[in-house]
Chain A
Amino acid sequence: MAPLVLIVALTACAPAPAPNGAGAPSTSAVPSAAPTPARDVPVVSSTVQPVRAALPPVRVQIAAAGIDMEVVPVGVEPGGFMELPPNPAIAGWYRFGPDPWSPDGNTVISAHIDAPEYPIGPFAQLRDLSPDTEVTVVADDGSTAAYGVVSVTYYPKQELPTEDIFARAGTRALVLITCGGAFDSTTGRYADNVVVVADPRT
């Protein structure tokens, strides 16, 4: 008897070939002379422009689950997997991707569900979040970003849609990830990832 009641949904979510933003730069008006151009081409100055600096999240809070966790920036491990803080009580924000205040793309925050010699982590509760649960991400300068849970999904690890999860373009979702499902003590790995998707709320 499973301790959880899960509504099973199959979604046709083929990993799209990473379409990564781009987008034409803003167009400046071109004064017309005779003749007029055949098409409208965006023109920008090529002078060195300051690039928006990332605003790293420092806490993730889910009041309904009693979660208020420290968040630190992380990258990738040598094997190409997302790096995570060893302590399950600390979450990692994927610093090569968007932050909550980026104009586009998903903010990805992940934490171990458990690790040897540590208590079970707060993200063990992710699987129990119900739709519309409020999630707040906080930056060091006091900025906050509010989200509402849209879905909680178990993905077998090899089917994790990483291109979609780590998308740079499209909606500004928050993605929280931990492990779940059956634990294989011979490999020291869980079978699934538990993925929470939350949409921005004002």
Chain B
Amino acid sequence: MRKTIAAGVVAGFALAAGFIAPAQAISPTTADLSVLHGIPDTPVDVYVNGELTLDDFQPGDLAGPLDLPAGDYAVALTATDAADDSAPILGPATLTLEAGKSYTATANLDEAGAPALNLFTNDIATTAAGQGRLTVRHVAAAPAVDVLAGGAPVIQGLVNPDEARLDLPVGTISAAVALAGTTEPVIGPADVAIQDGVLTIVYAWGSAADGNLALAVQTVTVGHTAPGGVPSGTAGYAAERDAMNQAFWIIGFAFAAAAASVGVVVARRSRAAKIDA
């Protein structure tokens, strides 16, 4: 049971709950899909199941998230002036989306520099209090790389199209990408925020041979962990003070009552005395 003052106002949280926006649109029957365009210098149209879904989609842009029913989707990329998806420059490829999951599809270069489609599953598990999640994906035409945070390698030997994941304390890290076994950045450094309850996905994309390697960043809000409670009193002084105040009231009340009854008795006696007299 809880007790609330403030008559006429519903206790704060029943009120607030009504305004909480849905987080991801993910439901027991749908999945979230985002799409990252990581092929340099090649704007495209994106067709999903034969329907134009992204028009004139530019390299470096991130689309979505789309809330889609679980199932298979045929994805094809065409030139931007195509009338339909009959002559794709990439695909068609089948993406299988499971309900309750978050995905990012990337159109990117493989290690050798050929266009490729990849489907990554985003880890949307709840983070611990004070922690954020970092995922790094190698979708660049480049050999194995190390990921540096503050100059020190935190992920080593990452190859296209793999990913690595770690949970980190909240804060800002200076992230850079170096060829595996080296500490000389080929991308970055760039400041990347690690936020409580947020998955930050960093993509290394572009082409080493063409000198256009770059970082792309996607953030996905995942569950955070609220503190388990707020133990905010350890001495009991306030409770003691309350008890004493209460005791004073009771004692005071008793005195007053006693005095009143004495008065009545006295009055009665004196009256009786008068009658006797």
Contact = CB atoms under 8 A, between A and B. Distances in A.
B193 A41 contact: no
A116 interface: yes
Indicate the size class of the contact surface on chain A: 35 or more
Contact of B242 (A3, A79, A131): A3
Interface in B221-277: 221-242, 245-246, 249-250
A45 B20 contact: no
B80 interface: yes
Interface stretch (B11-19, B92-100, B146-154): B11-19
B227 A76 contact: yes
B61 A44 contact: yes
Given A9-B3, A44-B61, A150-B6, A110 B20 contact: no
Contacts of A23: 21, 221
Given A35-B83, A94-B227, A46 B233 contact: no
A183 B2 contact: no
A146 interface: no
B83 to A, nearest CB: 7
Given A42-B64, A112-B233, A116-B234, A80 B227 contact: yes
A11 B11 CA distance: 7
Interface string A63-96: 0000000000001100111101000100000101
Interface of B: 1-7, 9-17, 19-24, 36, 45, 51-57, 60-66, 80-81, 83-84, 126, 129-130, 170, 172, 190-193, 195-197, 203, 214-218, 220-242, 245-246, 249-250
A188 interface: yes
A160 B229 contact: yes
B13 A34 contact: no
A31 B57 CA distance: 10
Given A30-B56, A80-B228, A195-B12, 9 more contacts: A13-B11, A21-B21, A22-B24, A24-B65, A97-B196, A123-B232, A152-B4, A155-B2, A177-B230
Contacts of A80: 129, 225, 227-229
Contacts of A144: none
B22 A19 contact: yes
Interface in A16-50: 16, 18-25, 30-39, 41-50
Contacts of B24: 22
29 contacts: A9-B4, A10-B2, A11-B11, A22-B22, A23-B221, A33-B55, A38-B53, A43-B63, A44-B62, A46-B61, A48-B215, A80-B225, A84-B232, A112-B232, A113-B233, A114-B237, A130-B5, A131-B6, A131-B7, A153-B4, A154-B2, A156-B1, A160-B230, A164-B13, A169-B20, A173-B16, A179-B238, A180-B233, A180-B238
A50 B19 CA distance: 27
A137 interface: no
A168 interface: yes
B218 A120 contact: no
Nearest to B193: A51
Contacts, number: 302
Contacts of A115: 233-235
Contact of A159 (B2, B84, B190): B2
Contacts of B196: 96-97
A11 B13 CA distance: 9
A41 B64 CA distance: 6
B239 to A, nearest CB: 3
Contacts of A175: 12
A198 B226 CA distance: 20
Contact of A166 (B56, B226, B234): B226
Contacts of A13: 11, 13-14, 17
Which of A45, A49, A96, A178 lies at the interface centre, i.e. has the most chain B CB atoms within 10 A of its CB? A96
A183 B237 CA distance: 9
A18 B22 CA distance: 9
Contacts of A3: 242, 245-246, 249
B221 A154 contact: no
Nearest to A184: B236
A117 B83 CA distance: 78
A13 to B, nearest CB: 5
A55 B236 CA distance: 33
Given A20-B23, A39-B53, A182 B6 contact: no
Contact of A113 (B3, B6, B80, B232): B232
